[in-house]
Amino acid sequence: MIKEQKATEHMNEELIRMIKLRIQGLPDEVEKFSKQLKKDGYHFLMESDDYPNRNSEYVRRYV
């Protein structure tokens, strides 16, 4: 059985003040990952719309 864990469980939360993150993948993967981060207790000061990558089905979102 695989243990479910936070996406960033290995990080020391005391050291993290603010980071800028680009999430990139298929639209549904980006949405799922963003929701999981929020579920894990991370707060986004800002979240962009999805931007399509050129010549690709992938998108990117900035948080």
Show pLDDT as tens, one digit a residue, over the chain (63 residues).
556 666 666 665 566 677 889 999 999 999 999 999 999 988 899 999 999 999 999 999 999
- CA torsion, ordered 31, 46, 5, 14, to nearest 10 deg: 170
